[in-house]
Chains A and B, each alone.
Chain A
């Protein structure tokens, strides 16, 4: 299953390192990564493959969200189909 990780907040050192450390520890593969400034917010988007993840989705979401809290950012992980269904026919 593919999921989308979004990081929204103020740019700072160590965002990618922080997120990718959690992913690597959980055996989650990063397929694509992009970052941009949207409506004034730093936005990083990662497409990841969670099918071989060592922990369940809820635990992974919890770890990412906690990391976000530490760094003053909002970090979410959501099933890719949510975005596909909303924006693609």
Chain B
């Protein structure tokens, strides 16, 4: 029998330390929905999503009840719409609205895949999709969009980088009355993964099967509590060992839910994403883990080393706990969604430049960063280019989810609500990069992309 201490430990993790399954994400191919008439395409998309995923929410809730483990989100990621809608004539925003209707019908809060993969250049479908992103995001609540503008193999598409600076500004402007919330649903990627279950960057990649179940776990609170119990005397070997063990337990739960959801829905299991995903809830913060290691505030010198250790130990612990690991799998540092990060920004400990450096050693990139509304589009593009360079050079995923909040200035507070959290407008380097961004073209792939 399982001993009482183990049972008590699991229950404490769930009830006191915010351990949960962050998301069950159903990846679904929409490639067979293609049709020259965009209205027919929309009907097919709506029918397919609401058909295949009809039991997703109920199954998630059943598992939640039987295992007593909270499953926060049930979501859907679809084939990048630029591919699905390539041969359709008409306005792509209609497709976003069809996705929105399907998500509302199913009772899910986000649907991802209003996306395009343009790391080497645009097709006509990519071009039309990207152009439609601001309106699509401004006129829907649940649809998430992502654009992959670079890969290690292809280099960085600087035309797309420049373009995304303008698209983000436009999206911010169209939702000026709602703190530019459209930008919280738009991710610009380098080396985007095909099987990421986390929003806003989830899409169902082109090598994926017809449909698949991917799971994202959470648990910064559990790691934080474990470290707190370990105390300040423990050295880094002990810290790493403890994080590994904790990550193993968290991931095992993810694997269990993944297997069970897959069996009940009759949909194959894809991956468990090992990412430590924070929420705005007190005690569910990645920043607080770093501070527990001995930093006065996240952002102090030592933050990168602490984050590197955390990220590596989470992967080492998690990888043995799951049969297939994928997605982003690393610690997330979304500023507005992490109460410790917000406080670190507010007290001046954490800057945009430090966050950039942090993205070299952890998952994703500049995530949920609120900047002044008058930040020029070329500066936003240059921020994207820097992140893409980090991703491409280090052979990892990086992303930018930045919100130039319309009408807000440096130091202003901004509230996005719910899981998106709140933030402070961060200062941005004001020196111009206009000429740099206007050059366009492609930054060639780095030499280590040639691996054959």
Contacts and interface: CB of A to CB of B under 8 A. Distances in A.
A85 B253 contact: yes
Given A77-B68, A78-B66, A78-B68, A4 B255 contact: no
B-side interface mostly: helix
B405 to A, nearest CB: 41
Contacts of A39: 8
Nearest to A62: B65
B344 interface: no
A38 B256 CA distance: 27
A42 to B, nearest CB: 11
Nearest to A57: B66
B4 A85 contact: no
A78 B67 contact: yes
A34 B4 contact: yes
B68 A86 contact: no
A23 interface: no
B10 A83 contact: yes
Contact of B6 (A32, A76, A87): A87
A79 B9 CA distance: 15
Nearest to A1: B66
Contacts of B66: 57, 78-79
B5 interface: yes
B4 A45 contact: yes
B7 interface: yes
B2 A83 contact: yes
A32 B1 contact: yes
Interface in A29-84: 32, 34, 36, 38-39, 43, 45, 47, 57-58, 61, 74, 76-84
Interface residues of B, number: 21
B69 interface: yes
B249 interface: yes
A48 to B, nearest CB: 12
B11 interface: yes
Interface in B6-44: 6-11, 15
B6 A79 contact: no
Contacts of B65: 57-58, 61
Contact of A85 (B1, B7, B255): B255
Nearest to B8: A38
A12 interface: no
Given A58-B65, A78-B68, A81-B67, A86 B5 contact: no
B70 to A, nearest CB: 12
Looking at B66, B67, B69, B256, the one whose CB has the most chain A CB atoms below 10 A away is: B66
A79 B67 contact: yes
A43 B66 CA distance: 20
Nearest to B254: A85
A3 to B, nearest CB: 8
B219 to A, nearest CB: 12
A4 B10 CA distance: 12
Contacts of A34: 4
A34 B252 CA distance: 25
B7 A45 contact: yes
A86 B249 contact: yes
Given A43-B4, A82-B253, A87-B9, 4 more contacts: A39-B8, A76-B11, A80-B2, A83-B2
17 contacts: A6-B8, A8-B8, A8-B11, A34-B4, A38-B4, A43-B8, A47-B1, A79-B66, A79-B67, A81-B256, A82-B256, A83-B6, A86-B10, A86-B249, A87-B2, A87-B9, A88-B2
| The 9 nearest A-B residue pairs measured at CB | A78-B68, A85-B256, A87-B6, A83-B2, A82-B67, A79-B66, A85-B252, A79-B67, A86-B249
Interface of B: 1-2, 4-11, 15, 65-69, 249, 252-253, 255-256
Interface of A: 4, 6, 8, 32, 34, 36, 38-39, 43, 45, 47, 57-58, 61, 74, 76-88
